[in-house]
Structures are given as structure tokens and as C-alpha cells.
Amino acid sequence: MIPRSSLPRAVPRVLRPQCSKRPNNNRTLASVKSGGFNYETGEVNGVKFASRDIPGPTTQLAVVARAGTRFQVYPGFSEGLEKFAFKSTQKRSSLRITREAELLGAELFSYHSRENLVVGAKFLREDLPYFTELLGEVVSKTKFLRHELDEEVIPIIKLGQKHILGNTAEMAVNSAHAVAFHRGLGTALHPTSSVPITKYLYHDDLKTFSQAAYAKPNFAVVANGTGHDELSKWIGEFFNDSPTAPPKDFPPIETNPSKYYGGEERIAHDRGNNMIIAFPGSGAYTGGHYNAAIAVLSSLLGGQSYIKWSPGFSLLARATAAQTQAHVSTRNISYSDAGLLTIAMGGNARDIREASMAIVEILKAISGGDIAKDDITKAKANAKFRTLSAGENTGTGLELTGAGLVQSGKASQLHGIADAIDGVTEDAVKKAAGSLLEGKATVSTVGDLFVLPFAEEIGLHV
């Protein structure tokens, strides 16, 4: 058991009965335009931060760094930096961090996306000082010990590589990004088994990369469930040791604008069948590349149903109703300066082939105006709901807000996105569909290539 004297700040309170007054949880949620769902932003000692004081007894706090696979300087560095979160620091061993978090009943998490590395914690509201201090240590005082890399980090990465080998859906997503963007956003989210990560992953280089990733211009701190002034106070105390600029003797983090290419890739596989048809999509709202018409078009194409016992209103759901062994879904994947509108299909190869044939015809119908006004109305409502629902989710909101602060100095505010979707006209949706057909598509196919079609066979230009 950890001695009381060794537990910092807020930890000892778990060893005695609680008598503090609990927050009132009977408050109602605010409307979108009232600001209740929006973040209040600020900066202290060069560290950008945002908070959203959601009523409740718990808080979620995270550091969002510009260190996803798009920005890694060598293969596997984003994965390695993620896995080193909450390992030994100059003040605490990894075991001590684990035990103290358990005593406080908290959850620790870390993950990375193509653009961001997110390291955070969920905990009781009154424990904000301790976890702000802990995240400050992770950012600036992680030791990056060689034995932790060799014995704990690399083995976990290699297990993940084995998982990807049999995951045809993830292979298709990685392939689509690589074909669409080449480098940068085209880098696989997780290194595949053919990537020689041990050639690049050294503890000293990871430590130097962390100094670039966690330099003050490259990360932001975001919280849900705490007051703005209180968060500012603790960030000012515990994030002073973060470097003010990336190290000069290390390859710089590339921030070149994304460029869409398009094309086709086919990968034979006997574990499943997946096909992705993609087009240039809408970027993030904070990045200046947002296109609300793409969000509405995504809902209009659809494929998946959100209503139980109903195939849904979307055009692809109706067009592929006979292909019962194929799952179809449309999604716009947004990034800071680009987006990828994907139509993903999985299941029986012959059903996927039949379903893919309908996509081009549906896009032609939309661009030609052969679409009911009622369908546009439903698509706008669905797009607005999905956007607001995602923003209301505290986990999604943390990354979107942190990324916006780092990339453009602006937090993602839900009322602006909702207003943009409300303003989409029928002509804007027709124009968006037409622009997709005029440009180059991205087609990635994994599975039984004897049955699955080429892009040319279904009428796509690559």
C-alpha cells in the first residue's frame, strides 16, 4: 500500500470519508445557441486551453497534440509516443501512476488519430489539481526508458500489427487514405507488419520527438466538467516546464497542406471483403475547409439506418435493399485542411459488386435534380443531429476542440456548424454531387478480387 506521505495533493482524500457537498445534477442542458455546448478558450504561459463547464460530478481532461501519423517524423513514432503515455516520469514510476489513479477511481487513456495524439484522464471533479499535474508530467517529464520501450511498448505495437493483418475493413481505410493523399494523411493509422519499426524506434529519438510534439505551439489542454478560471490556474502552475519551441537538431514536424490525388488500389485477401469508394470531402469547421453541403450529401447517400426495424430514408439504403449480405455506410472524415467522403461496403463479394453499381447512378440522379425535396429535408435534419450529437460527446469534443486550437487558434463551436447545415440549399447538394463525379475518385478494394469490380466497371474515373 502507498504511504499517505507519498501521495501528492488530492490523493489523500480517498483515504477518509467524504463530507463535501456534491454538485447539483438537476440542471437542464442548454440549447445549442445559448452557449451551453460551446467551449470557453484562453491561453496561459503560452499554453492554449479550452473548457466546457458541464454540470456533473466528473471531469474529463486531455492534452491534444499535433502528433498524429500525418506529422510523425519516422514510422511508428505516433504509436510509440501514445504507448509511452503514463510510463515512468522524473517524479513518478509507472506503477505509482497506476496505483494513484486506482486510489482516485480514475480512468487514464491515450490514443492517436491521423492528425492528433490525445492523452487524458476521467476523474471526480475535485481531483482536477492532481490530474492536471500528472498530465503536465507526461508532457514534459516522461523518461522514455529503454527497457520500457523494449519490454512494454514495442511488443504491444507488434500485437497490433498482427491484428491489422486480418482486419480487411481497416486495410481498406488505410488503402483509401494512401491512394487519396499519398504522404501525410495517407500514412497508415497504425504501422503494418511490413513496416520495419525497430529500424526507427529508439528511446532517445522518441524523447526528442516528444519535445517537438509537446512544444507549447503544438498542443492544447481541453477539459469538460470544470470551471474556466480553475483550469487556467492549474495549467499555469503545472505546464511551465513544457518547451516553448521544438528542438532544432531534429527533423521538423511537416505541416505542408494536404493534396488530394485519387486513384485505385486492389489487395487480394481471403479473410473478408471490403470496398471503399471515396471523394474529396469536407474539412473541419475550424480549418476553413468546411463544406456543409458535403455533410448533407453524406446523410442523403447514407446506407445505414438509425431507426430500428427500418431500412432508413437514405438513397443507398433503398437502392441496396436487395443486397442483404452487404453493409453500406457513408461518412465524411474531416481533417484540418481536407476531408474524405467515403462510401464503405463490406460483406459478400457479389453483393458488394451489385451495391457498388448503384453509387454512380445515385450521384448522377442527385446532380441532375432527380431527388425528392423531402429526402433533402430528412438529410439536413439527420446531418445536423449527427454533428451535434458528436459534439455533445465529451470524448469527440475534446479532440475536435484541441485540434482546432492548435491548428487555427479556434475551438469548434457547435452553433456555427448547425447554422451552416441549416443554410444548405437543394442546389448546393446537387452541385456537391456533380463535383464528385467530375473529379477523380478513390477506390480501394480488399478481398476476392475475382468478383469485386474495378472502378472503371462501375463508371468511376480514377
Model confidence band, residue 113 (pLDDT cutoffs 50, 70, 90) = very high
Per-residue model confidence (pLDDT) at position 392: 76
Q: What is the pLDDT of residues 205-244, one digit of tens each?
A: 999 999 999 999 999 999 999 999 999 999 999 999 888 8
Q: Determine the average pLDDT of the residues in 402-425.
A: 86
What is the Cα–Cα distance from 142 to 206, expressed in whole angstroms?
A: 11
Q: Which residues does 19 contact at the CB level (< 8 Å), separation at least 6? A: none
Model confidence band, residue 37 (pLDDT cutoffs 50, 70, 90) = low
Q: What is the pLDDT of residues 349-365, one digit of tens each?
A: 999 999 999 998 999 99
CB 51 within 8 A of CB 132: no
Model confidence band, residue 8 (pLDDT cutoffs 50, 70, 90) = low
Q: What is the pLDDT of residues 128-142, one digit of tens each?
A: 999 999 999 999 999
Q: What grid cell was written down for 42?
A: 484562453
Axis-axis angle for helices 128-141, 228-238 (nearest 10)? 40
For residue 309, give the 3-state DSSP assignment: coil
Strands 326-334 and 117-124: unpaired
The answer, as to whether pTM is greater than 0.85, is yes
> What are the residues facing 331 on neighbouring strands?
342
Per-residue model confidence (pLDDT) at position 117: 97
Q: What percent of the chain has pLDDT over 90?
A: 71
Higher local confidence (pLDDT), 14 or 95: 95
CB 157 within 8 A of CB 307: no
Q: Residue 17, exposed/middle/buried by CB under 10 A (0-12, 13-18, 19+)? A: exposed
For residue 418, give the 3-state DSSP assignment: helix
Q: What is the pLDDT of residues 243-292, one digit of tens each?
A: 888 888 777 787 788 999 999 999 999 999 999 999 999 998 877 789 99
